[in-house]
Structure 1
Amino acid sequence: MSSLYKLLLQAAFTTKVVDLATLTGACVVALGSSIAGIFTPSDDLAKEVVAASEVSGEKFWRMPLEESYWETMKSGVADMVNTGARQGGSITAALFLKQVYCNGRQRGCYAIGKKSTAIPSHYSRLGYSSAEADTKLKKKICCACPETKKLRDECVVQNGEDKCSKFIEAHKQCLRSEGFNV
């Protein structure tokens, strides 16, 4: 997996890499079953995920990447250990992913700690859901420009922000028709 991330990060076309990880379940302990944690060194990426969550109806909360916790993951015989101290488990898991996958590169790297629940919600009639499924559904429904049928980022590059932004209400209507509460 880390080799794939390194290849993606070296590719000229890659602007973001998102890892949807359980982060040891500690994220669910910290935030409960309805909110997913965001770990990123980038303020811009955190804002982008939170903005997308407002449209999709998902709940995300930015978590700290406390670098001092990395000390608990150092090893005398290996590059690093794959788990830190019990406390701050989701933070050390995110630091591990950052170290392995981002390889010192800050641009475009973040992890989202999955949420899971047995409680039905407006986007999961059966309950049992995760940030990964919700975000994929949101991207499929919400991020394609209704006019060009391209992903929103592609549409903005080709047509400009003003042209694509007029479709936000259409995206919300589409989400509502799919049962989302937006």
Structure 2
Amino acid sequence: MSNTAKFNLRTAKTTGALVAGAGVIALLGGGAANAAGVHEAPKAKPAKAASAWTSPITGKYVFTGKFDQGGSHWAHKHSGQDFAVPNGTKVHSVHAGKVVEAGWGGAYGNNIVIKHANGVYSQYGHLSKFKVKVGEHVKKNETIALSGSTGNSTGPHLHFEIRKTPYYGSAVNPVTFLTHHGVKLHG
């Protein structure tokens, strides 16, 4: 059994062809690139990989004190990003890592520092309650604390920093850092 299609050599398009024979059925398509009737299925776009990083706060928040902002609240310039949230809001690890500090941090109040495998440190300040201890390994998005207003704070919020050297030096803009790593922030 064989059905043939009309084929216009001038436009190199098929009007629909179905060829059957010897147990093989092929659908031939049109277009100049497919004048011979050979098609490749369109390649599916690769699924976008989930980011290995996440926001320290989920749900509603407002950006208040911004990175590198000057003001009377800081000895120098602001070294992190503040997320204004109600007291007791869950604070999440932005990436998997090891807790290297969990305790009183002076102006940071109750604070946590996590060292990540890539040599980056994340710091979370002004916390009301700890959910992790020094030495624990945490997963991305794990609840590590509750927000608060301890230390040099004007109200409940999370002070969040990213640092790239040991002893928590070399602060970088945490919003830029997270955005660069695929995290969508809405503050």
TM-score of the superposed pair, with normalisation by structure 1: 0.27
Bigger CA radius of gyration: 2
Relative contact order (C-alpha < 8 Å, sep 6+): which is higher?
Answer: 1
TM-score of the superposed pair, with normalisation by structure 2: 0.26
